[in-house]
A and B are shown apart, each in its own frame.
Chain A
Amino acid sequence: MKVNKKSAMTWPAMLMLLCFTLIPLLIMFETSFRSDETGTLTLENYKKFFTNFMYIKLTGSTLLMSLLVTVISLLIAYPLAYIMAKKLKGLKNVILVLTIIPFFTNQLVRVYSWLIFLQDGGILNRLFMSFGLAENGLGILYTRAAVVIGLTHAFFPYMVVTIYMALERMDDSLIEASMSLGASKWTTFKDVIFPISMPGVMSGVTIVFVPCLGSFVEPRILGGVNGTVIGTVIEDQFFQLYGWNFGAAIAFVLFALVLIFMGAFGALGRRWETE
């Protein structure tokens, strides 16, 4: 078999990942097969996850939440990236920088700002009241809606960057050619623009969906009573009690899920690209 020498360029990164991700995680992987009480090898941690309906349900609702955040992010990020790449000239870099600047603040501090903004008697509430739109509390905070607002805010700018990177490289003459051949705007978009931007969309979906699945800060603080997700369960296992074994087991189940979903997204994306 012929191996292209140029593939050796992947080695530095793979070496790093081998030393500081794969090998360390093997230790954790082994831990996830250890019994809490006796320390012997066992499947009980995985069994606990799959036999208790609560964990399945939590995983399911976390998946749905992450998908929702991903879709909303896509709806916000794609048009923005498109306008930046194709309509704005000098301003596009300014807007790109502006979308990233908020990340210079700490995640916790940002989430607390949302808390102050959204809470009953908070800034949004006062704004609404001064326009006579609301009389009492809004009741947004401590609901799943607040969690989605917070998570979308935390992740969609990444998607803007990836989609913009894909769109910006696209040749405008392709669009013009399609239009001059009489294709409608929608057809041009569907058959020319979107397929070409697909790598950016795929990267963007990954960059939002994956971290969302394991998030726990936004759900816990903005979700309150309704803020339990699979990420908070993992965090509790490590920080609130000495439950590494079970916590690690959940994390690896989650990783398997990520691989499955990424595979599915990938297949979906390729289909669109080739159509």
Chain B
Amino acid sequence: MNRKTGFFGKLLIVLVLLYLYVPIVVLMLLSFNESRYNSLPFKFTTHWYQELAADTELINSAKNSLLLAFLTGIVCMILATFFILGQRYLAKRTQGLFNSIVMMPMSIPWLIIGLSILLMIRFMGFSKSMFFVAMGHIVISLPYSLLVLRARVSSLDKSLEEMSASLGASPWTTFRRVTFPAIAPAMLAGGFLSFLISFDNFPISYFLMPNGIFTLPIEIQSSIKFGFTPEINAISTIIIGISLVCLTVVGLIMRSNLKAMLGGKD
């Protein structure tokens, strides 16, 4: 099979990446622009990075967001894997019902979900806490993990697992040897999308966060009443930089590990 990318293929990749990165490049550039109101022409300054360095509230909020998103991403990855593997054994009708329920957090506006959870915990006499914030984040990020996994698992052959079981392999061995290698990339990608959904979520955090704790989206959303400064652009630029470095490192490690793991054939 032809494995070469043609001219149009390359052009497509370049164009799509261009489209994708236009606003990102703009926001990075604006973090070095002098004007508080992002006005042009461009005048270089590092002023906003200096401001940012002194702004502990903003930096802490970014840290909070990252922690919350990590937790959410990992929990979603695990829950979604279990769900997607289990739902294949459900009766048709239950499967349909379950799948509609799973879609709910995606189709009801998050601000309504956030507010409903708040009303519920009030009703039960609890106060706002990080536990409920995390739970809220997990339910709204879960559909993303699920959808990515579903794209993968639908093509997974159930009979292969059954065969492995009938040959006397324990469920754990079957999962490890047959299922996991097939769905690992989708688990990772799904968990990653859930991470990003949580990282950028405003409404759930806003309604459920205990007083005085902020996440980055809360900071930004609250700032737009009177206008956010390029400090926000600066912190976004830094986050992109860090995530690029982290992903490269993780990618290199995973590559050797995954290769070792997936490489051998039974």
Among A3, A17, A255, contact of B107 (Cβ-Cβ < 8 Å): A255
Q: Provide the A1-34 mask, 1 if CB < 8 A to any CB of B, else 0.
A: 1011111111111101101111111011000000
- What residues make up the interface of A, taking CB atoms closer than 8 Å to B? 1, 3-14, 16-17, 19-25, 27-28, 76, 79-80, 83, 86-89, 93, 95-114, 116-117, 121-123, 126, 153, 157-158, 161-163, 165-166, 168-170, 172, 175-176, 179, 196, 198-200, 202-204, 206-207, 210-211, 213-214, 216, 231, 234-235, 238-239, 244, 247-248, 251-252, 254-255, 258-259, 262
Evaluate contact between A21 and B154: CB separation under 8 angstroms: no
On chain A, the residues within 8 Å of B233 by CB distance are 109
The 10 nearest A-B residue pairs measured at CB:
A9-B86, A199-B154, A24-B116, A113-B23, A4-B89, A200-B151, A13-B83, A10-B86, A258-B107, A203-B147
On chain B, the residues within 8 Å of A98 by CB distance are 17, 20
Interface residues of B, count at CB 8 A: 95
On chain B, the residues within 8 Å of A13 by CB distance are 79-80, 82-83, 102, 142, 146
Asked whether any CB of chain A lies closer than 8 Å to the CB of B173, the reply is no
**In the complex, what distance in Å separates the CA atom of A204 from the CA atom of B143?**
12
Asked whether any CB of chain A lies closer than 8 Å to the CB of B152, the reply is yes
On chain A, the residues within 8 Å of B144 by CB distance are 158, 207
**In the complex, what distance in Å separates the CA atom of A169 from the CA atom of B262?**
13
Asked whether any CB of chain A lies closer than 8 Å to the CB of B260, the reply is no
Evaluate contact between A207 and B147: CB separation under 8 angstroms: yes
Evaluate contact between B87 and A7: CB separation under 8 angstroms: yes
**In the complex, what distance in Å separates the CA atom of A119 from the CA atom of B102?**
39
Known interface pairs A8-B86, A28-B119, A207-B147; 14 further A-B residue pairs with C-beta atoms within 8 A, sorted by A's residue number:
A20-B138, A25-B108, A25-B112, A83-B5, A86-B3, A89-B3, A96-B189, A104-B239, A109-B236, A110-B23, A117-B22, A153-B20, A204-B147, A210-B107
A87-B151 contact, Cβ under 8 Å, with A9-B83, A106-B216, A109-B236 = no
Evaluate contact between A262 and B20: CB separation under 8 angstroms: no
Asked whether any CB of chain A lies closer than 8 Å to the CB of B155, the reply is yes
A27-B119 contact, Cβ under 8 Å, with A13-B102, A213-B107 = yes
Evaluate contact between A106 and B200: CB separation under 8 angstroms: yes
On chain A, the residues within 8 Å of B147 by CB distance are 158, 162, 203-204, 206-207
